[in-house]
Amino acid sequence: MLFDVDGTLADTERDAHRVAFNCAFAEAGLDWTWDVAQYGALLRIAGGRERLAHFIADSQPDVTESECTRLVRALHELKTAHYLRIVRAGAVALRPGVLRLLREAHDAGLVLAIATTTSRANVDVLLAHALPPGAQTWFRAIGAAENARQKKPDSEIYHYVLDAIGLAAADCIAFEDSAVGLRAARGAGVTTAVTQDAYSAGQDFSGALVVLSDLGEPHALAQTISGTSPTRGYVDVAQLHVWHASVQNGTSN
Ligand code: XBP
Ligand code: MG
């Protein structure tokens, strides 16, 4: 099982990454603020540095190219420090069903890995603060921003992770929250289930095995937006086997 991080393991974007960017702007003496809606539009650019560069090129005509490069590096460093502080303060919780499914999959001996475009430090702090102690070792490989030159929707990070875990794409399933992530996973040939969030709802999820509101819990079932609903109304290891068999038999939609 390959997991995206931002938006999939946890709703990190609106109240953690966005807030961290705004703190970095303020600390640098800039009067820029990304509101919730504007940040949603900027999210189609994967990668914090790339997002900053796009924003500056798009809306700050007075910033020269070399100044932009310097600014992006400095702001992203500040932003990462703020993000780490925000997550350490406990502001980010895992999405419904994530811990249950990770634990169940780990106990069943399934291979777990992470394929994200966010920085490695951000992954480590989230795993350390949102998962039980020692659970970081559940992941055979973690592929993050530092491991791929091209960000999602490019598939490079998925190829990196497949190589690191030594499994074929056909034996894996990816969980993503966004169209950008879905394209990255599908481009590497990995069957992908989408758990959409407030930012990604309504995006083009064609090619997804299923689109759900979240992974669901026995007491709070997932809503199915498209595709076949999980048998029990939530995603568990038995459901992964059902999906794997249906993909192998060519009976998935
Ligand atoms: C989401 C991203 C990241 C974060 C910000 O990654 O695109 O860029 O928004 O993190 P994913 P950085 O959904 O693949 O987990 O500032 O460290 O890039
Ligand atoms: Mg994501």
Residue with the smallest CA separation from ligand 1 atom 13 is 6
β pairing state of 112-115 and 210-212: unpaired
Q: Which of 2, 4, 6 to mutate to test the pocket of ligand 1 (most atoms within 8 A of CB)?
A: 6
Q: Which two tokens mark 233? A: 């109304």
Give the number of other Cβ atoms within 10 Å of residue 153's Cβ.
18
pLDDT (tens digit, 9 = 90+) per residue, 156-182? 999 999 999 999 999 999 999 999 999
Summarised one tens digit per residue, pLDDT across range 78-125 is 999 999 999 999 999 999 999 999 999 999 999 999 999 999 999 999
Those residues of the chain that have pLDDT short of 50 are: none
Instruction: Tell me the β-bridge partners of 28.
Output: none
- Please, are residues 43 and 34 in contact by the beta-carbon 8 Å criterion? no
* Separation between Cα atoms, residue 10 and residue 178, nearest integer Å: 13
Spatial distance between the Cα atoms of 13 and 72, rounded to a whole number of angstroms: 18
**Mutate which of 3, 13, 118 to test ligand 1's pocket (most atoms within 8 Å of Cβ)?**
118
- Are the beta carbons of 12 and 92 closer than 8 angstroms? yes
Q: Does residue 82's CB lie within 6 angstroms of at least one atom of ligand 1? A: no
Confidence at residue 32, expressed as pLDDT on a 0 to 100 scale: 97
Ligand 1 atom with the smallest distance to the CA of 51 is 8
The reply to whether ligand 1 has any atom less than 6 angstroms from the CB of 195 is no
Q: CA angle at residue 13 from 10 to 19, to 5 degrees?
A: 125
Q: Is the CB of 117 under 6 A from ligand 1?
A: yes
Tell me, what's the pLDDT at 253? 57
* Residues listed for the chain: 253
Spell out the alpha helix ranges (H) of the chain.
18-27, 36-42, 48-59, 65-88, 98-107, 120-130, 156-165, 179-187, 237-248
Provide the pLDDT for residue 249. Answer: 87
